[in-house]
Amino acid sequence: MAQVLPIRLYGDPVLRKKARPVTDFTRVPELAEAMLETMFEAGGVGLAGPQVGEAKRIFVAALYQDLPEEEEDRVPLKKRVRETFVLVNPRITFAEGEAVGTEGCLSLPGLYSDDVPRKFRVRIEYQDEHGEPRVIEAEDYLARIFQHEIDHLEGVLFFDRLPPPLKRRFLEENRAELARMQREAKAMLKELAPRR
């Protein structure tokens, strides 16, 4: 089984860095597998390199089978996977339509915001985990996931996309929780330091 990696929290500087393009694909399949495992474990729909401390242009995502609410807790997320995605060096080459929706982030656990504006439909050119060039088109929910993850590669978090008054409100309403995360992120960095 692939390794589960520690997820970096809000306050970790790696989340605000611009990620570097991937040029050497030798270890990418391994990293992608670990990122997928980490995402399943955390119950997420997407996870970008910087969120596991890898400032590289890679993200993973998954779509899950919907279940009636009473069954959701009994079936592990991994058993509900419909489709997984691994996108390396992704570039949005076409986008159209506007949509607003709710977003959260594994690096800001428990925090959500409605009204995050995104493009409704996107086309993305990328490379797969072996470096092969690919194109994918997505709309609505999947397009939102892809845009959220690509933002991570630019050091952008979902609340940065909110119109300024809503962003201010998000930061104010979650001030205590965000400060707690920043402290936890610092503690985590200290703990990870000897391994580097």
* Interface residue list for Ni ion (CB under 5 A): 105
Tell me whether residue 112 or residue 120 sits nearer to Ni ion (CB atom).
112
The minimum distance between CB 59 and Ni ion, in angstroms, equals 9
The minimum distance between CB 140 and Ni ion, in angstroms, equals 18
Nearest residue to Ni ion on Cβ basis: 105
The minimum distance between CB 54 and Ni ion, in angstroms, equals 14
Active site residues: 149
**The amino acid at 63:** L
Q: What are the DSSP calls for 2-28, one per residue?
A: PPPPPPPPTT-GGGGSPPBPP---TTH
Tell me whether residue 35 or residue 194 sits nearer to Ni ion (CB atom).
35
Strand pairing category for 133-139 and 58-64: unpaired
Q: CA dist 74 to 77, 80, 109, 120, Å? A: 9, 11, 22, 33
Alpha carbons 37 and 40: distance in angstroms, whole number: 5
State phi, psi for 136 to the nearest 5 degrees.
Answer: -140, 145
